[in-house]
Amino acid sequence: MATTLLLLFSGCGLDGGFPVTEDAELARRLEQVIAERRTVPLAEITGADWDRIYLFPGENTRRHIEGRVGERLDLHEIAGSEHGGLVVFKRGTEVVRAVRFQHFPFAADDAEYGPTVVVGPPPRGIGGFLELTER
């Protein structure tokens, strides 16, 4: 019985949706781009396993997030934070990655971008953040 339950939950998050994780390596790469004030394709930093990203900075409701991405996510550990945020990566109609950030690196509101998006320093002079631009 315990093995059956373990197998049922092993492919999804505890909340029954796609698992949301923290990615220290991705956060480090983004911080490096911020420090170097470079502009690079986001796919170069994250890997090209997606064709759409959704940004959710700050506080958001489950209903809002899941309504935008069209899939249930394991949001049980996502606490509303004015400084944190969530990035959801999709390929076609499926979520392929969902990353939680304690300190959201993007100078953006709720937004959606395609695979040609680049990140770089914002022209507005906001330090410590990246701006996204669709190319």
Q: What domain range is 101 assigned to?
A: 16-134
User: Is there a domain that residue 88 lies in?
Assistant: yes
User: Is there a domain that residue 43 lies in?
Assistant: yes
26 close to 43: Cβ distance less than 8 angstroms? no
User: Is there a domain that residue 111 lies in?
Assistant: yes
How far is residue 16 CA from its own chain's centroid?
19
User: Is there a domain that residue 108 lies in?
Assistant: yes
β-partners of residue 57 are 85
Report how far residue 23's alpha carbon sits from residue 110's, in angstroms, rounded to the nearest whole number: 20
Number of structural domains in the chain: 1
User: Is there a domain that residue 1 lies in?
Assistant: no
β-partners of residue 127 are none
What is the reported pTM?
A: 0.82
User: Is there a domain that residue 11 lies in?
Assistant: no
**Strand 73-74 to strand 18-19: parallel, antiparallel, or no bridges (unpaired)?**
parallel
87 close to 101: Cβ distance less than 8 angstroms? yes
pLDDT of residue 81: 55
- Residue 76 scores a pLDDT above 70: no
User: Is there a domain that residue 62 lies in?
Assistant: yes
User: Is there a domain that residue 117 lies in?
Assistant: yes
Q: How large is the average pLDDT for residues 49-78? A: 89
- Report phi then psi at 7, rounded to 5: -65, -35
**pLDDT, tens digit, for every residue of 84-113?**
899 999 999 999 999 999 888 888 888 999
Put the strands of the sheet holding 117-120 in their side by side order: 40-41, 117-120, 131-134
